[in-house]
Amino acid sequence: MGRTIVEAISAKIDDHDVNPLGGVRSSYRGPRAQISKNRELPWWRRILPVIAAHKISFSVAVSLSLVSLIFQTLVPRMLIKATEDAVKRHSASLHQEVIQILIVGVLAGITGVISRQYLFYTAYNVEADLRSLMYEHLAWLSFSFYDRVQSGQLISRSNSDIRSVQMYSTFAPLILVQCSAGVLAFGFMLSINWRLALVAMVVMPFLYVVGVRMRQMLFPISWVTQARLAEVATIVDENVNGVRVVKSFAQEEAEINRLADAAEKVAWSYVKDAEIRARFTPLVQNLPQLGLALVLLFGGYMVIYGHMSVATIIGFNLYLLMLQAPFMMMGQLIMMGQRAKASAERIFEVLDESSEIVERPGAFDLNDVTGAITFDNVHFAYGDGPPILQGFNARIEPGETVAIVGRTGSGKSTVARLLNRFYDIDSGSISIDEHDVRNVTLSSLRETVGVVLDEPFLFSVSIRENIAYGRPSASIEEVTAAALAANADEFIVKLPEGYDTVVGERGYTLSGGQRQRIAIARTLLVNPPVLILDDATSAIDVHVEAGIYEALRALLSHRTTLVIAHRISTIALASRVILLEDGVAVATGTHDELLASTPLYAQVLAQTTSEDR
């Protein structure tokens, strides 16, 4: 039966992909632009290329907004003229002037609405590009990065921080356009009465000083707020993913208290932020009112003594109100700007990370792989930790199945992680078909080396989609054949929707053994020339395991297989065993040979067997 299943899988896969490295390629085209790599630039200059990639919609938005504000600035001028003409004619009839003002007002409204539509369209596309840049970069970062960074931090930076930048990119252009309208309004004020215009601007230096001080105080608290929001996200992420552990130890109350403490820290930072804004925003918003009071004082004096008409002072005040609009929003703009700056710098901390695992210049694809593997004097340690492998040497022939056995912490799983460059070795070399794995492309290497991990991860999609993850275009017949080889079909067909059954998050609606069998089927469907089974049946019942191995024996004869073994039943799959001790291969041979010649081998087996029990 096993050989029939193997032949079915091989035939179906070979018909679909003659090249074993073939497969369905992503249609994702990526964001339109990258952020600037120059870390010396201000944060907004670094993001500018992403915004510039949407320059057409952005230009339309800004241009129409400016047109709208030009229309608005015409209204006071038209009102002054209409009032003065009515006074000269000694007539209260203003029908024609009112109609003209209404037309200008409608045009200002229409252009303003269209402008906002284009502006929000640009802003949300910029947000999508930034999020794509973040996820694209995260996908290429090395495992060492994820070893030291909390997932909650990454979730926060990929969501709330990007949203802060997006909101600022939405509202800042509006304020800048308002400021340009203020310049136009000030120009009209100068043309009406330059002395009175200077009186109106007397409060502006004080407004500038208040704005600078507000910005200086808001930035650190904005950074703290975003960091503490990330802490909350981390706790929530850990509690959702580790809910079974929390409940197993009855630690619900402790976790609730931990989250409450983190939430209180966020509340404190928000309160400090509100206190700063409460202290400065009234000044920012009301200082221009002082300018208005001064204009009314001096303007009223000029009207009384005949130096200015009533219509002129009314129009002047309308322009002054238009000039004040940007300053009324300056407090909000400063607050959003400092939060966006803090968020952007947190985003840059991720985007500026470089992957430790990169392709060398001239890297080539692995093709027509036979599966010969060589570990030559390999040394490796995780970061600054103690050495894991210290001169590891091994040779695995094409089509050979080799088990690596050793005590816990001896480096067995590390060997598997190094073969497909999850990490890079410190010294020595690892080669496949005499090609150093550091000289080949990562995609071809990882398509060549299939891995079934001891902790299988399933996505919250159907079982069929989980099995076909590596080959989304695989037919249901191919998926079923792979499931049969992994001894998973028997429980899948009993599920309510069969292969279309959607598993819960991380596959926890299935047992550990069922998840492992689906993970095995997922790897078998890809049909890699080299296969790593990293204790892949640890959660499977020994009777079920025997059925899987019956199918795997025939399947493994077609490829080179590295088995990270703990159970004697797993070791039985291998034609040869490598005994690993303190990062060194201390003995190699068949299971029976090592039992007879190497006492350490028997001790390791006894230890792992007792741990398994």
Question: What is the chain's mean pLDDT, rounded?
Answer: 78
How far apart, in whole angstroms, are the C-alpha atoms of residue 603 and residue 572? 17
**What CATH number does the domain located at 43-351 have?**
1.20.1560.10
> What is the strand order of the sheet 427-432 is part of?
387-396, 373-381, 427-432, 435-436
Region of residue 300 (left: phi > 0; alpha: psi -120 to 50; beta: else): alpha
**Both structure tokens of 190:** 């100068």
pLDDT given for residue 21 in this prediction: 36
pLDDT given for residue 505 in this prediction: 67
Neighbouring residues of 206: CB distance < 8 A, sequence distance ≥ 6: 287
**CA nearest to 355, candidates 453, 241, 230, 442:** 442
How far apart, in whole angstroms, are the C-alpha atoms of residue 489 and residue 485? 8
Q: Is 326 exposed, middle or buried (0-12, 13-18, 19+ CB in 10 A)?
A: buried
Residue with the larger pLDDT of the pair 556 and 348 = 348
**CA nearest to 347, candidates 124, 154, 128:** 154
- Percentage of residues in the chain having pLDDT higher than 90: 8
The residue assigned the tokens 């229409």 is: 110
Most confident residue range from 222-226, 231-235, 457-461: 457-461
**What are the tens digits of pLDDT across the range 4-35?**
444 444 444 444 443 333 344 445 466 778 88
Cα dist from 165 to 52, 215, 567, whole Å:
15, 16, 53
Neighbouring residues of 571: CB distance < 8 A, sequence distance ≥ 6: 403, 405, 563, 565, 577, 591
How far apart, in whole angstroms, are the C-alpha atoms of residue 496 and residue 503? 11
Q: In the Cβ-directed half-sphere of 75, how many Cα atoms lie within 13 Å?
A: 21
**What CATH number does the domain located at 373-612 have?**
3.40.50.300
Region of residue 570 (left: phi > 0; alpha: psi -120 to 50; beta: else): alpha
- What residue type is assigned to position 534 of the chain? D
Neighbouring residues of 586: CB distance < 8 A, sequence distance ≥ 6: 579, 580, 598, 600
Lowest mean pLDDT among 90-99, 159-168, 260-269, 480-489: 90-99
- What residue type is assigned to position 422 of the chain? F
Tell me if the pTM is above 0.85: no
* Every domain of the chain and the residues it spans: 43-351, 373-612
The two domains 43-351 and 373-612 share their CATH topology (first three levels equal): no
Q: Is the pLDDT of residue 375 over 90?
A: yes
Q: Is the pLDDT of residue 561 over 70?
A: yes
pLDDT given for residue 554 in this prediction: 62
pLDDT given for residue 20 in this prediction: 35
The residue assigned the tokens 């010396």 is: 40
- What residue type is assigned to position 312 of the chain? T
Most confident residue range from 131-135, 252-256, 571-575: 131-135
